[in-house]
Amino acid sequence: MYKDLERVPALVAERGLALGAPLTCRDETASTNDDAKRAAKEGAPAGSLFLAESQTAGRGRMGRTWLSARGENLLFSLVVRPNCPPSRVPPLALVAGLAVRDAVAKVVGEGEVKVKWPNDVLVRGKKIAGVLVESTVVGSRVDAVIVGIGVNVLSRDLPEAIASIATSVALELPAGAPPPDRAAILVDVLAGLDRDLGHVAARGLGLVHARLGRADALRGRRVAGELGAGTAEGVDTDGRLLVRDDAGVLHRWSSGEVTLAPRRA
Ligand code: BTN
């Protein structure tokens, strides 16, 4: 583990968090989601955190690769055991997005840090973090949920493939601000998840719905996806994206990729 992350266990304990321990930190792994999934199958307790300084097979949604330079960012996966039906799992990605949004906004400033349904965090329209939620189901209940999160923190030279569409905390810092603190950001994300995840798994998005609405990158924007196109009108309490098509019909998209049309000048 790099020096700046050595404070994580102490910060988790100090803040009395139920998520973040035990911590397994690897210099290199294939994917922290795979580490967490394997451990969950072997009985790892809820709250177990798997962190890595680099991944050789970091994964995003829709089969994409997650790229991150060694030691510069946050790559981690949590094991949670919410004892909920599978239908409650998709909204958990939005809760994770909100926790990351709040932690990032605390450092770069509140304006323009948004959650883009279903799993991205954007600053001024550029992606700063992604969430990959996976679950294992036994019978009709969820046995474990793996919440995988990648946050670009210290990187200033982003890989060429993503440089025009991605950003990092370091690149978004206000002038004169101290360098970003990876441990503090990680523990703030854990605290946000600790506060909201169990509740949303048990009762749905109601409690965080208003906050999610204020952070929504898509609301009022023209969007397109595999299911069509229209204007985004927020997210319902089951975590589905509400899209009104040009004929005025409201659709609820439950998964997929959404592209944002540029704002009209
Ligand atoms: C996405 O944007 O599609 C989701 C990206 C999720 C990346 C994180 S990095 C830590 C964890 N391990 C992985 O292999 N993926 C997630």
Return the closest-CA partner of residue 31 out of 2, 60, 72.
60
Decide: 238 and 199 in contact? Cβ < 8 Å: no
Looking at the chain, the domain(s) classified CATH 3.30.930.10 span 3-212
How far is CA 18 from its chain centroid? 18
Q: What pLDDT band is residue 264 in, cutting at 50, 70 and 90?
A: low
Ligand 1 pocket check for 70: Cβ under 6 Å: no
- Ligand 1 closest atom vs CA 75: 10
Return the closest-CA partner of residue 49 out of 85, 1, 95, 84.
1
**Ligand 1 pocket mutation, candidates 24, 67, 75, criterion most atoms within 8 A of CB:** 75
Model pLDDT for residues 152-207, shown as the tens digit of each residue: 999 999 988 888 999 999 999 988 889 999 999 999 999 999 999 999 999 999 98
Residues whose CB is less than 8 angstroms from the CB of residue 63 and which lie 6 or more positions away in sequence, other chains included: none
Ligand 1 pocket check for 55: Cβ under 6 Å: yes
Q: How far away, in angstroms, is 256 Cα from ligand 1 center?
A: 16
| E-strand stretches of the chain | 23-26, 49-52, 74-80, 113-116, 120-123, 126-138, 141-151, 222-225, 228-235, 241-244, 250-253, 258-260
What pLDDT score does 92 carry? 95
Ligand 1, atom 7, residue with closest C-alpha? 150
The helix/strand/coil state of 122 is: strand
Ligand 1, atom 16, residue with closest C-alpha? 148
* Structural tokens at position 16: 């009395």
Ligand 1 pocket check for 148: Cβ under 6 Å: yes
Ligand 1 pocket check for 59: Cβ under 6 Å: yes
For 222-260, CATH number?
Answer: 2.30.30.100
Share of the chain above pLDDT 70, in %: 98
* Structural tokens at position 54: 């680099």
Model pLDDT for residues 236-253, shown as the tens digit of each residue: 999 999 999 999 999 999
Residues whose CB is less than 8 angstroms from the CB of residue 239 and which lie 6 or more positions away in sequence, other chains included: 90, 91, 93, 94, 118, 205, 254
pLDDT over 90 at 265, yes or no: no
The helix/strand/coil state of 251 is: strand
Give dist(CA 173, CA 210) in Å, integer: 27
Topology classification of domain 3-212: BirA Bifunctional Protein; domain 2 (3.30.930)
Give dist(CA 187, CA 152) in Å, integer: 15
What pLDDT score does 45 carry? 97
What pLDDT score does 139 carry? 86
Ligand 1 pocket check for 60: Cβ under 6 Å: yes
